Amino acid sequence: MTTDRLLLLAPRINETGLQLLTAARRRGLRAHTARSWQVPEELRGPGPAHLYGGPLFADAVGQDLGVATLEAPVDWLAALPRELTHRHVECTTLAEARRLRRPAFLKPPVDKLFPARVYPDGSGLPGPDALDDDTLVLVSDIVAFRREYRLFVLDGAVHTASRYAVDGALDVAPLGEDPDGREALAFAADVLSACAEGLPSATVVDIGPTAAGWAVVEANPAWASGGYACDPDRVLDVVLRAAGPATEVAAADRPYCRELPAVVR
């Protein structure tokens, strides 16, 4: 990878961002944190670019940087077989979700348009004056994960992984220090063997054990995901592929490119 490459991070940098800055600079990349939601003039240039930040940052600077950001299909989780989720999950519209009259876990598939949490019913979701009726929502049966693990996936295999929660509370540990670490990797291999063709080549998948067995929590874009106790250098490998030059996107990854808006300044 040539050293004229730029890695631009969102202004509100987190711990993972700091780790990526260090790892990228160690490789000789030009790694910088943006001062605002724009590409700094002094960093514009002909060199290839990558980014790390949330969906709003990707939408704000992606086209200016010439970056393609990969993400799983919005209905990926809902399309998984029941033996990989141990719950009913559907992808529907906000208009339909508002009609729910039972408790459910509700979340936007990618963008954080409203809080992801358990709702008593659909009446607590944003109204049509706040979000369009056709906004997509994932509706899931409520399930408790005893532990949760983050997998950074590259080319259909786990590239690095970490525990990040125990009984719903943040509890970070390297996979080698977790009693269920080997089981996590074994289940991850099963998941990726069954459905890697439905994911981009660089992504994040979260998994964990439930009372009914191991299950997929969700998929997330690598360019917007925390690394927890994952190896920062290996996280960087996945991030660089997941949000890199649009001219370098492999044909198999093109269906997973996020549609980035043209921003008028």
80-136 tens-digit pLDDT: 999 999 999 999 999 999 999 999 999 988 777 888 899 999 999 998 888 899 889
**149 and 207 both lie in a single domain:** yes
113 occurs within a structural domain: yes
Nearest to 232 by CA among 20, 21, 9: 20
Q: Is residue 67 located within the same domain as residue 134? A: no
What pLDDT is stored for residue 69 in this prediction? 98
Look at 9-13, 26-30, 127-131 and tell me which has the smallest mean pLDDT: 127-131
SS3 at position 259: coil
pLDDT digit string, tens, across residues 210-229: 999 999 999 999 999 999 99
Residue 237 lies inside a defined structural domain of this protein: no
**Residue 29 and residue 56 share a domain:** yes
Contacts of 249 (CB under 8 A, 6+ apart): 68, 70, 257
Residue 116 lies in a domain: yes
Residue 79 lies in a domain: no
On whether both 225 and 247 belong to a single domain, the answer is no
- Residue 199 domain boundaries: 143-229
pLDDT of residue 158: 98
- Looking at the fold, whether 163 and 204 belong to one and the same domain comes out as yes
- Stretch 149-162: mean pLDDT, rounded? 98
Q: Kindly state whether residue 264 falls inside one of the protein's structural domains.
A: no
Count the Cβ atoms, other than its own, within 10 Å of residue 2. 8
**CATH code, domain carrying 186:** 3.30.470.20
159 lies in the same domain as 134: no
pTM, to two decimals: 0.94
| First-to-final CA distance of the chain | 32
Decide if 130 is inside a domain.
Answer: yes
118 and 131 inside one domain:
yes
How many distinct structural domains can be found in the chain?
3
